[in-house]
A and B are shown apart, each in its own frame.
Chain A
Amino acid sequence: MLITTSSEKQTFKLGEKIACQLKGGEVLALTGELGTGKTVITKGVAKFLGIKKHITSPTFVLMKLYKIQNSKFKIQNFLHIDAYRLNSGQDLLDIGLEDWLNRPDTVIVIEWAERVKNILPEKTIKVNLKIGKKNNERIIKIENRI
C-alpha cells in the first residue's frame, strides 16, 4: 500500500491509523533516511495506544519500554527501538529483545529496521518512508509480510 502525506501532522495521523489495526504481538519495522518521519509515525502509534509520556528518541539507550496502563486493552507494553547503531539483530537479542517478541500483550516499533532484518518475526509490518517531491511530502509504503 502506498500513501502520500503532505505534513508532519498527516504522518502522525497515519501512525494512529496503523495502530488502530494492531492486535498485539506485532513488530512495526520502520525504514527510511534521517528526517523522513520514523519517529513521527512512532509517536502516532504511541498516542493511539494511550501512552501519555513523551516518546523520546531511544538512540542513546537503544530500547525504551512504555507500560500502557489500561486494563481494558490487551496491549500492555510498547517497546520503541532504534537500531541505527546496530550491526545486526544479534545486538538486540543481547539486550533482551527476545523477552518481548511474539508476545500478544506487546507492540514493538523498530526504527532503522533494515539493520536488524535477520531477527524480524513473521508478524512484521514493514513501513518505508521517503521524502516526496516537496519538502514536507512523504511517500510511505506499508507492507504486511503475512
Chain B
Amino acid sequence: MIILSIETSCDETAVSLIKIKSGKNGEVFNILSNEVFSQIKIHQKYGGVVPEVAARAHLEKIMFVLENALKPIKNDFRKIDLIAATQGPGLITSLLVGWQAAKTLSWFYKKPLVPVNHLAGHICAGWLGKDSKEKINFPLLAMIVSGGHTELVLMKNHNQYKILGQTVDDAAGECFDKVAKILNIGYPGGPAISKEAAKPQIPSSRFQFNLPRPMIKSDDLNFSFAGLKTAVLYKWNELNYGAQYKKLNKKEIKKTVHVSGTDNLIPLFCYETQQAIIDVLIAKTLKAAKLFQPKTIILGGGVAANKELRRQMTAAIFKNFPHIKFIIPCFEFCTDNAAMIAAAGYFKYRTMNIKQKSKLKNNWQNLEPDPQLEL
C-alpha cells in the first residue's frame, strides 16, 4: 500500500510518500520520499511563527515540495492508494494550505482521504525507523513535547489514544522559546538553549540557582511551564540589574546589558532552564510508566530532538524500567514531517470497517481543518 501524506500545521511544508508492507511483526514503513521545507529562517527575524507569513510561504512551496515527493513514482497517481493529511491541531492559516491540497488531490484522482491528528502523527513516528524483526507492543505510553504541546498519551491499541496529562499553561517548547527571548539568544529557543547549555559555565553555586520544577510532585500527570519562565525572568533581572532594575526604563536596560557584560551568564541560565524542563518531563514519564505499566514508551515531538533530553530520558527509563522498550524517533521524524502523518493515517485506516473506508472518498466534500482538534 502506498500513502501520500501532507503536513502543514505550523511552519513546515511537508509531503511524504510511504510504502507499507505488512509482516508478522507488524508493518514496515518504507519511506520513498520525505520532503520538508522549513520556514524557520523566514520566521527567525520575527522571533516566532507569523501566521500570515507562514500561510504565504506554505502556498509558495507546497507544489514544489509535492512534486519532489512524487518523484519516486514519477507522478503516477494510480500507484497511490490513500491520501493522509493533517486536519489539526495547528495554526488555521497554515493547516488550510495542506488540507486544501489534499482535498483537491483526493477529488481529482478519486483517492480516499484520511484526516490525521498531528499529535497522533508524532506518536506514530515511533514506527518509522522500525525494521521487519522489531515488534512494538501495547500498551504504549507516549510523551509528546513540542512548541505547542506537552502531552502524556496512553495507547491500548492502534488508533486508541487517551490523554493522561498535559500542560495547564505553556508547552515545554514554548518555555524554551520564551526563555530564549528573555536571554535574547534567538529563535527557535530549543536549539539555541541546548547549544548554549553545552558550553562551559561559571559554577552555579555562586548564584544560588534554584529554578522550580513546576508540578513535579503533583498527584496528577499534568505539567506547568509558565512559572518556570517567570522564575528565569526574575533571576535574570536580579543578576543583571540588581536593585536598580525597577528604576530603569527600557532604553537604559538595553545599555546596561551591554555594559555589564553578563553575557557569560547565558550558558548557565540555559543549562539550568533546560535541566529544569528535563527533570519534570522525566519525572512525569516515569510516574505514568509506574501507574500504567506500558510495554513500550515513545518520546516524540520537536523537543525530543534535544540531545540532553534524549540522553537523560533513555538513562532514566533504562534504570527504572529496564524491561520497557524505549523508542525515540530519529531527528528528522521528531520535528514536523509528513512521514509520521502517513503512519498515523495508515493505522487509522486499518482500524476502519468497510463502510467507514468507503466514506473516505467523500471526505474532500465535508471535512474542514480544525485548529483545536482533540486527540
Question: CB within 8 A of A61: which of B46, B148, B222, B226?
Answer: B148
Report yes or no: B89 in contact with A54, Cβ–Cβ below 8 A.
no
- Compute how far the CA of A60 lies from the CA of B89 in the bound complex, rounded to whole angstroms: 10
Report yes or no: B92 in contact with A95, Cβ–Cβ below 8 A.
yes
Report yes or no: B234 in contact with A63, Cβ–Cβ below 8 A.
no
Given A54-B168, A94-B52, check contact A34 B178 (CB 8 Å).
Answer: yes
Report yes or no: B226 in contact with A57, Cβ–Cβ below 8 A.
yes
Q: Which residues of chain B have C-beta atoms less than 8 A from A63's C-beta?
A: 92, 371
Interface: B300 (CB within 8 A): no
Question: CB within 8 A of B372: which of A39, A65, A87, A90?
Answer: A65
Interface: B51 (CB within 8 A): yes
Given A39-B226, A60-B147, check contact A85 B234 (CB 8 Å).
Answer: no
Given A91-B52, A94-B52, A95-B51, check contact A61 B89 (CB 8 Å).
Answer: yes
Report yes or no: A56 in contact with B147, Cβ–Cβ below 8 A.
no
Report yes or no: A91 in contact with B51, Cβ–Cβ below 8 A.
yes
Interface: A144 (CB within 8 A): no
Report yes or no: A60 in contact with B50, Cβ–Cβ below 8 A.
no
Question: CB within 8 A of B174: which of A54, A55, A57, A95?
Answer: A57
Given A85-B49, A95-B93, check contact A61 B371 (CB 8 Å).
Answer: yes
Q: Which residues of chain A have C-beta atoms less than 8 A from B171's C-beta?
A: 56-57, 60
Interface: A48 (CB within 8 A): no
Q: Which residues of chain B have C-beta atoms less than 8 A from A21's C-beta?
A: none
User: How would you classify the secondary structure of chain B's contact residues: helix, strand, loop or mixed?
Assistant: loop
Interface: A71 (CB within 8 A): no
Question: CB within 8 A of A135: which of B48, B168, B234?
Answer: B234
Which of B52, B149, B178, B229 has the most chain A CB atoms inside 10 A of its CB? B52
Interface: B281 (CB within 8 A): no
Chain A contact residues (Cβ within 8 angstroms of B): what range?
Answer: 20 to 34
Q: Which residues of chain A have C-beta atoms less than 8 A from B371's C-beta?
A: 61, 63
Interface: B233 (CB within 8 A): yes
Interface: B169 (CB within 8 A): yes
Interface residues of B in 320-375 (CB under 8 A from A): 371-372
Q: Which residues of chain A have C-beta atoms less than 8 A from B93's C-beta?
A: 94-95
Q: Which residues of chain A have C-beta atoms less than 8 A from B174's C-beta?
A: 57, 59-60
Report yes or no: B91 in contact with A62, Cβ–Cβ below 8 A.
yes
Binding site for B on A (CB under 8 A): 34-35, 39, 54-57, 59-65, 84-87, 90-91, 94-96, 131, 133, 135
Binding site for A on B (CB under 8 A): 10, 46-52, 89-93, 147-149, 166-171, 174, 178, 181-182, 222, 226, 229-230, 233-234, 246, 371-372
Using A56-B169, A85-B49, A131-B246 as known contacts, list a sample of 6 further A-B pairs with CB atoms less than 8 Å apart, ordered by residue number in A: A54-B168, A56-B168, A56-B171, A60-B149, A65-B372, A86-B51
